[in-house]
Amino acid sequence: MKCQLCEQQASVTYTKLVGDKSQKIHLCAECADEKGITNLDNFDLSDVLMSDIEKADADENEAVDQNECTECGFTLQDLRKIGRLGCSSCYQLFGSEVKSMIGTMHHGETHEGKVPKGMLLVIEAKSKIENLQSQLDKAIKAEEYEKAGELKNQLAAFQESLASDSK
Amino acid sequence: MMRFSTLVKHPADWMTGKSKDNSVVITSRIRLARNLRDVPFPGWAMKEERKQIMETILPEISGLDEMKKGFSQELSSLESLEKQVLVERHLISREQAARGEGCAAVVNRKQSLSLMVNEEDHLRMQSICAGMHLREAYDLLDSIDRELETKLNYAYDGNLGYLTACPTNLGTGMRASAMLHLPALVITDQISQVLQAVGKIGLAVRGLFGEGTESLGDLFQISNQSTLGESEGAIIDRLERVINQVANHERNARLKMIEEDADILTNKIGRAYGLLKHAHLFDSKEAFTHISLIRLGADLGYFPEGTMQLCDSLMMEIQPAHLQLYAGKELEPEKRDLIRAEIIRDQLQNLDPPAISNIENEVNNTDVGDELPIEPPID
C-alpha cells in the first residue's frame, strides 16, 4: 500500500466513520506526522486531508453502490457466481465484465445478425430527433427565430407522435 | 385447442416425412432465444414476476396463425410423465420440464414449432424439420419472430444483439443443430476422429438430448456454439458445410462396408433383427444399438421402404416416458425393459428378415471405381 499523498510506502491507516460507511486513508509516517495524525490530541480529518482524497473515497463508495442493478437488484457477485445476468439492463451496468466473458465464447464482439423492426424505427426516430435538434440549435445561433420556431414545433409534434405510438 | 392425448397420439411431421431424404441427417432444428426488456430473466424473477411475464407472452404466441389449434399448456398443469414425453419428442428442453408455475409450452399441430415461455430466457422458439433443411427451419421461425417482434418489447442492443440471460447466447440468440445417424462411422471406428475435427472448428457435438447426454443408437447432434459476431445466415452456412461433410463421410463409409465387408455387415444386421424380434428384456441402450443397425440396413436395401420411419418412431416409443404412457402407469426400470421388448416385437412383427439377395444386386449395381458397368453377355 502506498501513501496517498507522496507515493512512499504507507505505514499509517486512518479510518473514519461517516454514517455507517467507513473511509480509509493510508499515509506514510512522514506525511502522517506532517498532517498531525500521529498526534491524536489535535487533528481533524477534514482540516488536514486534501479534498481529492475524500473525493476518491466518495467515488469508491459510489462504485460499490453501482454494483447492483437498479432494475432488478442483481449484483456483480451474482454474475460471477452463476455466469448469467438478472435482466436486460444488467448488460449496461456489467458491460465490461460481460465483454471479458464474450472474448472466448464467440466469433466476434459485435452483433452482425437480424435487427428487430421496432428497433430500426427507434434508431431512425432517434436520428431524426437529433437532426431536428441540431438544425434548431443552428437556427437559434444564427438568430433565425422564425425558422427556429417552426423547427421547435416540428420537433414537438414528432415527439408527441412517438409518445402516442408507444401507448 | 389441442389436448395432450391428441398430441401424443400423432407422430410429429418430421417423423413421417417419407419424401425427404433423412437417412443420415434425421432432423434440422433452429432455436431462437428472446427476452422482454427490463424485466428480470426467468432464473432471477420472483414467481409473481414470472407469472406476469407469462401472461404477457402467452396470448401473443397462442394467437399466432401458425399456433392456432395447437397445444398450449402451463407446465404446472402437466404431470411429470407428460412433461417427459414432450422432452422425448424434443418439444421442450429437459430444463423446461423441471420448471413449474409461470412456465408454459406452446406446440403447433404439426409439432414442427414449439415455443417455451420462461425457460432460461423469456421466450425460446424452436422449429424442427426432417432432413438437412436448416434454412427452411430458420425461415419458418424467422417469420414467427418477425410477427412477434411487433407485439413484444424485445430486449435488444445495437452491439450485443438480442440480450439473453446467459452471455453464451448473445447476438443472434440462435442455436442451429442437426441430428445425425452415423452407424457406419461408429462401426468403422472413424467417429471420434470426425467428431474431434468438428469440435476443433468451434462446433458442438452432443448426444441425443443435448448437453451432457451420451450418444444412444449412433445418434449425434452437431450445433453452433458462437452466436455473436456472425449473421444467422453465416452461422447456418458454416454449419451446413460441416454437416454435409460429415454426412458424406457416413455415406462413403456405408458404401465401403457393403462393397468390402458385406458379410460382416449382413451378419450384424441379421443378428440385430433376430434379437429385436425375440428378446424378452431390453434396456434403452441395447435396444437403441440394435434399432440403429436396422435403420442402417433399411437405408442399404436390406428392408422394404418405410422401415426407416418405423425405426424413427420406435426410437421414440421405447423411451421411458413414452413407454410408461403406453403402459398407462409408472413403471420400475426392470418392468420397463419388459414392456420395451414387447413394444419392439409388436412393431416389428410384420418386418421380414433382411433380404440378402437385394444387397448383392445393389453391390453389383454400384459403380465401383474405374470398372466398366456390367453388360449382358453378347451371344
pLDDT tens-digit profile of B65-119? Answer: 999 889 999 998 998 899 999 999 989 988 888 887 899 999 999 999 999 999 9
Question: Look-up: residue for cell 409461470?
Answer: B102
pLDDT at B310: 93
The grid cell for A97 is 465484465
B219, with CB counted inside 10 A (0-12, 13-18, 19+), is buried
Contact B232, B164 (CB under 8 A): no
What's residue A37's pLDDT? 56
Residue A117: which pLDDT band, with cuts at 50, 70 and 90?
confident
CA–CA separation, A97 and B68 (whole Å): 42
Q: Does B157 touch chain A (CB under 8 A)?
A: yes
Nearest to B135 by CA among B243, B63, B1: B243
Query: What pLDDT, in 10s, does the model give residues B198-252?
Result: 988 889 998 766 555 567 899 999 999 999 999 999 999 999 999 999 999 999 9
DSSP string, B184-196: HHHHTT-HHHHHH
Q: What is the pLDDT of residues B45-77, one digit of tens each?
A: 999 999 999 999 999 999 999 998 899 999 989
Strands B113-117 and B123-130: antiparallel
The answer to whether residue B26 scores a pLDDT higher than 90 is yes
Average pLDDT over residues A105-113: 91
Determine whether the interchain pair B160/A72 forms a contact, defined as Cβ–Cβ distance below 8 Å.
Answer: no
Section A3-29 average pLDDT: 65
Does residue B35 belong to the interface with chain A, where contact is any CB pair within 8 Å?
yes
Q: Does A74 touch chain B (CB under 8 A)?
A: yes
Q: Which has the minimum average pLDDT: A9-18, A65-74, B39-48, B79-88?
A: A9-18
Which residues of chain B does A118 touch, with a Cβ-Cβ cutoff of 8 Å?
A: 149-150, 153-154
pLDDT at B353 over 70: yes
Our CA dihedral for A88, A93, A99, A102, rounded to 10 degrees, sits at: -30
CA distance B162 to chain A (A): 8
Using CA atoms, how far apart are residues A73 and A80, in angstroms rounded to an integer? Answer: 15
Q: Which of B38, B120, B225 sits opposite A71 (nearest CB)?
A: B38
Amino acid symbol at B243: I
- Report the pLDDT value the prediction gives residue A56, as an integer from 0 to 100: 47
Q: In angstroms, what separates the C-alpha of A61 from chain B's closest C-alpha?
A: 26
The pLDDT mean for chain A works out to 74
**DSSP 8-state symbol, A14:** E
For B176, phi then psi, to 5°, come to -105, 135
Contact B39 A102 (CB under 8 A): no
* pLDDT for res B155: 95
Size of interface A-B (CB pairs under 8 A): 117
Task: Give the model's pLDDT for residue B18.
Answer: 55
Three-state SS across B3-26?
Answer: CHHHHHHCCCHHHHCCCCCCCCEE
Per-residue CA distances from A121 to A118, A126, B149, B152 (Å): 5, 8, 12, 15
Give the mean pLDDT of A24-47.
59
Rounded CA separation B202/B52 (Å) = 38
- Gap between the Cα atoms of B214 and A143, Å rounded: 75
What average pLDDT does range A100-122 have in this prediction? Answer: 84
Is there a contact between A107 and B174 if contact means CB atoms under 8 Å apart?
Answer: no
| B165: Cα within 13 Å, side-chain hemisphere | 21
The grid coordinates of residue B354 equal 433382411
A117 Cβ under 8 Å from any chain B Cβ: yes
DSSP 3-state helix, strand, coil percentages of chain A (rounded to 5)? Answer: 55, 10, 35
State which residue of chain A sits closest to B45, comparing Cα positions. Answer: A86
Question: Nearest to residue A113, comparing CAs of B224, B139, B162, B141?
Answer: B162
Interchain CB contact of B127 with A (< 8 Å): no
Domain ranges of chain A: 117-166
Q: Do B229 and A106 touch (CB under 8 A)?
A: yes
CA distance A122 to chain B (A): 11
Question: pLDDT at position A44, please?
Answer: 46
pLDDT tier, A84 (very low <50, low <70, confident <90, very high otherwise)? very high
Whole-prediction pTM value? Answer: 0.76
Query: Is any Cβ of chain A less than 8 angstroms from the Cβ of B49?
Result: no
Burial classification of residue B102, based on how many CB atoms lie within 10 Å of its CB (0-12 exposed, 13-18 middle, 19 or more buried): buried
**Strand pairing partners for B203?**
B224
Interface test with B, best of A88, A96, A102 (most B CBs within 10 A): A88
Question: In sequence order, what are the beta bridge partners of B103?
Answer: none
pLDDT of residue A155: 87
Q: Is B228 within 8 Å of B172 (Cβ atoms)?
A: yes
Residue A38 has pLDDT above 60, yes or no: no
The distance of Cα B252 from the centroid of its chain, to the nearest Å, equals 23
Mutate to test the interface with B, among A70, A91, A106, A117 (most CBs of B within 10 A): A106
pLDDT tens digits for range B172-194: 999 999 999 999 999 999 998 99
For residue B116, the model assigns a pLDDT of: 95
Q: Does the beta-carbon distance from B230 to A107 stay under 8 Å?
A: yes
Measured between alpha carbons, how far is A114 from B231 in angstroms, rounded to an integer?
A: 7
**Interhelix angle for B191-200 vs B232-260, to 10°?**
170
> Pick from A86, A91, A112: which is nearest to B44 by CB?
A86
* Contact list, A119 vs chain B (CB under 8 Å): 154, 156, 158
ipTM of predicted complex: 0.80
Chain B residues closer than 8 Å to A112 by CB: 171, 229-231, 234
**A76 part of contact set with chain B, CB < 8 Å:** no
Chain B residues within 8 A of A87 when measuring between CB atoms: 38-41, 44, 155
Chain A (32-51) residues lying within 8 Å, Cβ to Cβ, of chain B: none
CA distances from A107 to A110, B29, B167, B170, B235 (A): 9, 21, 13, 11, 10
Q: Report pLDDT for A126.
A: 76
B44, B125, B138, B162: which to substitute to probe chain A, counting the most A Cβ within 10 Å? B44
Torsion of CA B87, B88, B94, B100, to 10 degrees: 40
Name which of A77-91, A128-142, B229-243 the model is least confident about: A128-142
Residue of B213, B215, B221, B212 lying closest to B246 (CA atoms): B221
Sheet containing B104-107: which strands, arranged edge to edge? Answer: B71-74, B104-107, B113-117, B123-130, B25-34, B174-181, B219-224, B203-206
Q: Could you give the dihedral angle defined by the CA atoms of residues A142, A144, A147 and A152, in that order, rounded to the nearest 10 degrees?
A: 70
